[in-house]
């Protein structure tokens, strides 16, 4: 029951990705619809999978890289549906589904790791910390996706070549606005994740921060998005700069995620 729902959702996400890429190459009304349907079905199965896992293990089911990547993809799709509902931003699917599918695929090929959670990590803070961290990361991922869309659209307008996706991409104002909103949503979530994480660390290991590489990366990420917000409010860093910075911030997250998870060093062993 567990892994079959995961496999089904992986297959549907794959279809969603295919449709979204086809949608880029030729614009019809069918592909975005198919993409949404496939993503929604995949998301449904994925949700069942996550709840099933969580209940059968007795704690939130994202404590190793395999589970984390899968939950990350889930958060991304969740935000995508919210944005699509709010802004009718189907084209965003073409920028988001490949990323989410890649995460799912990584989760798929990573070895299963059902070791019981070490007692030191068993705490209610586990749920708070991870859920907030992933939702924040997903918001940043979306901000980066929208940032790429902004850069593409800005390139069309600046270079005065209005072909390709120009007519289908939203206006620069809307893209900038969504990017900003996502960062303003992601940043407080990320802050809560860091605070809850350090309280949890204090409970488990006796200090709020142990200068573990993962923790340092988290602070760097926090700083980058702090700068994105501060510079926009104080100095009017909007548009291209905001888009580029949010992409940079997201790359930092990916770097931390991929690099450190593979190295498996430090106290923050699981992620």
Partner 1 sequence: MKVLVAGLNHKSADVEVREKLAFTGEKLEQGLEALLALPQVKEAMIISTCNRVEIYMGVDEPGEATRQVKHFISSFHSIPEGLLDKALYFHTDSSAVRHIFRVASSLDSMVVGEPQILGQVKDSFQLALNKKTTGALMNKLMKKAISVAKRVRTETRVAENAVSISFAAVELARKIFNDLVDKSVLLLGAGEMAELAARHLMNNGVKEIVVANRTYERGCELAKDFKGRAVPFSGFKDEMVRSDIVLCSTGAPNYVVFKQDLHNIMKERKQRPVFLIDISVPRNIDPKINGLENVYLYDVDDLQGVVDSNRNERNKEAQKAEDIIGGEVEVFERWVASLQSIPTVVALRQKAQRISEAELERLFNRVDLDEKQQGAVRQMAASIVNKLIHSPTAALKEDVEERDQVVAMIRKLYDLNGD
Which residue from 149, 153, 160 is spatially nearest to 246, judged by alpha carbons?
149
Q: Quote the least distance from Cβ 86 to partner 1, whole Å.
A: 15
Residues between 141 and 200 that touch partner 1 (CB under 8 A): 153, 157-158, 160, 162-163, 166-167, 170-174
Confirm or reject binding of residue 236 to partner 1 (CB under 8 A): yes
Which residue from 119, 35, 43, 127 is spatially nearest to 77, judged by alpha carbons?
43
Residues between 16 and 45 that touch partner 1 (CB under 8 A): none
List Cβ neighbours of 12 (8 Å cut-off, separation of 6 or more). Answer: 38, 39, 41, 42, 45
Instruction: Please say which residue, 67 or 176, places its beta carbon nearer to partner 1.
Output: 176
Which residue from 45, 36, 34 is spatially nearest to 11, judged by alpha carbons?
45
Q: Quote the least distance from Cβ 175 to partner 1, whole Å.
A: 9
The CB-side HSE value for 77 (13 A sphere, CA atoms) comes to: 33
Q: Quote the least distance from Cβ 234 to partner 1, whole Å.
A: 9
Confirm or reject binding of residue 240 to partner 1 (CB under 8 A): yes
Instruction: Please say which residue, 31 or 270, places its beta carbon nearer to partner 1.
Output: 31
Q: Quote the least distance from Cβ 38 to partner 1, whole Å.
A: 23
Query: Can you say whether the dihedral through the CA atoms of 133, 135, 141, 146 is positive or negative?
Result: negative
How far the first Cα of the chain sits from its last, in Å, is: 26
For partner 1, how many residues bind (rule: CB under 8 A)? 20
Confirm or reject binding of residue 87 to partner 1 (CB under 8 A): no
Instruction: Please say which residue, 4 or 162, places its beta carbon nearer to partner 1.
Output: 162
Which residue from 80, 87, 90, 22 is spatially nearest to 46, judged by alpha carbons?
80
Instruction: Please say which residue, 126 or 149, places its beta carbon nearer to partner 1.
Output: 149
Residues of the shown chain interacting with partner 1 in the complex, contacts defined by CB under 8 A: 153, 157-158, 160, 162-163, 166-167, 170-174, 235-241
């Amino acid at each position: 029951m567990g892994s079959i729902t995961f496999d089904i959702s992986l297959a549907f996400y794959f279809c969603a990705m295919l449709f979204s890429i086809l949608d880029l190459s030729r614009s019809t009304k069918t592909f975005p619809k198919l993409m949404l349907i496939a993503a929604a079905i995949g998301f449904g199965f994925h949700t069942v999978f996550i709840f099933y896992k969580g209940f059968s293990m007795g704690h939130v089911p994202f404590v190793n890289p395999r589970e984390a990547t899968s939950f990350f993809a889930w958060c991304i799709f969740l935000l995508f549906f919210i944005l699509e509902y709010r802004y009718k931003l189907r084209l965003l699917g073409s920028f988001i589904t490949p990323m989410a599918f890649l995460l799912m695929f990584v989760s798929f090929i990573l070895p299963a790791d059902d070791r019981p959670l070490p007692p030191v990590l068993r705490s209610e803070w586990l749920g708070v910390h991870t859920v907030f961290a992933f939702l924040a990361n997903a918001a940043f991922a979306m901000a980066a996706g929208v940032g790429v869309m902004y850069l593409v659209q800005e390139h069309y307008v600046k270079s005065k070549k209005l072909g390709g996706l120009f007519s289908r991409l939203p206006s620069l104002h809307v893209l900038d606005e969504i990017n900003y909103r996502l960062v303003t949503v992601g940043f407080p979530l990320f802050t809560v994740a860091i605070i809850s994480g350090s309280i949890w660390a204090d409970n488990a290991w006796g200090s709020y921060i142990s200068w573990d590489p993962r923790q340092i990366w988290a602070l760097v990420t926090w700083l980058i998005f702090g700068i994105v917000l501060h510079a926009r409010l104080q100095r009017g860093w909007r548009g291209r700069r905001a888009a580029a910075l949010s992409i940079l911030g997201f790359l930092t997250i990916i770097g931390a995620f991929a690099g450190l998870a593979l190295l498996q060093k430090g106290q923050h062993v699981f992620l």
